[in-house]
Amino acid sequence: MARKVILDVDPGVDDALALCLALFDPRLEVVAVTAVAGNVPADQATRNVQTIIEQLDPPRWPRLGRALPSDVGEPANARHIHGADGLGNARFDVAELHHLHSSEKVIADALRTDPGDISLICLGPLTNIAAAFRRDPALPSMVDRVVFMGGTYLAPGNITPVAEFNMYVDPPAARAVVQSRTTKTMIPLDVTSKVSFTYDFLDQLPDDTSRVGRFLRRILPFVYRAYRQHYGLESIHLHDAVALQYVLEPDWFLTEEMAADVEVAGELTTGATLFDRRVNRQWRLNLEVATRVDNAAVSQAIVRGIRQAAHAAGA
Ligand code: RIB
Ligand code: CA
């Protein structure tokens, strides 16, 4: 029986690649794909979700959710890594922009329809999850599990010295989800940055005869240029695709139950994920954290998953 999931995304090239994998994996039933502001502003994230679904045309189209504009001033973005349009400046046309319900409503309605059966796979800031939980306080008990890409355990941040991007964009939302009474797993930079994709990965992509190959070959090159320009690296990370592997193959990850919280108002530490490691711990255990990964198995599975998606999607 395929596992029901909702993917909450801020596409974002690595979000888009994770969607490629999820939409064509027989182990998953993607009930909905909900947009959230992060790598790009809300409207662009919503447009990108529609673009990705149109380009990939999966056998079953998921419900789509619209990202609501951020209520925090001029939020951070990652356009320098993902392109001004968030999809590698591929400049896709969108056939038509549908009128969509808000992401928080799509999430809330889906959880109420299938209480206990749906996992929330969060690959962007946790704005929508926190909003849905605020909207309906019974929802945390209706989630199978929240799995989110974000935070750091011992690793440095990527948007500040101590904060990871998804947590940094909306710290109050991240704190609300980390403190919520539901089963949660955090896939931090400690793990997702251990899996690197060199230029060989581009060569291994399906060719242009497949819809998936054409799509990925349009969005990935920008990220390689960006990683070289901004980080001096000759490889890239696909944080969200790695996080999705935890859902598919959890045994490839080592996890530890921790007592966590999120800084929401530190001059230097906003968005940092913090852990009570004291011998006389005072914080309650509230979060499973991935601390190790079989990076070879994960990177091979991502290459294999893309090939399977290309075969399933066809031309
Ligand atoms: O820090 C990496 C995360 O931030 C990824 O989800 C990436 O897509 C951005 O959202
Ligand atoms: Ca993301």
Q: pLDDT tens, 200-254?
A: 999 999 999 999 999 999 999 999 999 999 999 999 999 999 999 999 999 999 9
Give tens-digit pLDDT for 94-132. Answer: 867 788 999 999 999 999 999 999 999 999 999 999 999
Cα–Cα distance measured from residue 315 to residue 313, given in angstroms and rounded to the nearest whole number: 7
| Mean pLDDT for the stretch of residues 2-7 | 97
Residue 192 CB less than 6 A away from ligand 1: no
The predicted structure's pLDDT at residue 158: 97
CA distance 187 to 174: 13
Alpha carbon of 186 to ligand 2 centroid (Å)? 14
- Domain residue limits at 54: 3-313
152 band by pLDDT with thresholds 50, 70 and 90: very high
| Least confidently predicted of 75-79, 203-207, 277-281, 285-289 | 75-79
Residue 137 has pLDDT above 90, yes or no: yes
- Which of 52, 87, 160, 165 for mutating ligand 1's site (highest number of atoms within 8 Å of CB)? 165
pTM over the 0.75 mark: yes
> Is the dihedral angle over the CA atoms 185, 189, 193, 194 positive or is it negative?
negative
pLDDT, residue 77, reads 94
pLDDT the model gives residue 86: 97
Residue 20, burial from CB neighbour count under 10 angstroms (0-12, 13-18, 19+): buried
Domain count, the chain: 1
Type of residue at 104 = E
Query: How many angstroms does the Cα of residue 300 sit away from the middle of ligand 2?
Result: 21
Residue 73 pLDDT > 80, yes or no? no
What mean pLDDT is predicted for residues 66-77? 82
Task: Tell me if 190 CB under 6 Å of ligand 1.
Answer: no
Which residue, chain included where needed, has tokens 């182990």?
Answer: 27
Q: Is the CB of 288 under 6 A from ligand 1?
A: no
**Measuring from atom 1 of ligand 1, which residue has the nearest CA?**
165
Distance CA(195)–CA(240), nearest Å, equals: 11
Surrounding residues of ion ligand 2, Cβ less than 5 A = 10, 12, 15, 123-124, 240
Q: What is the CA radius of gyration of the chain?
A: 18
Mean pLDDT of the chain: 96
The CA 116 to ligand 1 mean position distance, Å, reads 27
CATH number at residue 235: 3.90.245.10
239 is catalytic: yes
Confidence of residue 72 (pLDDT cuts 50, 70, 90): low
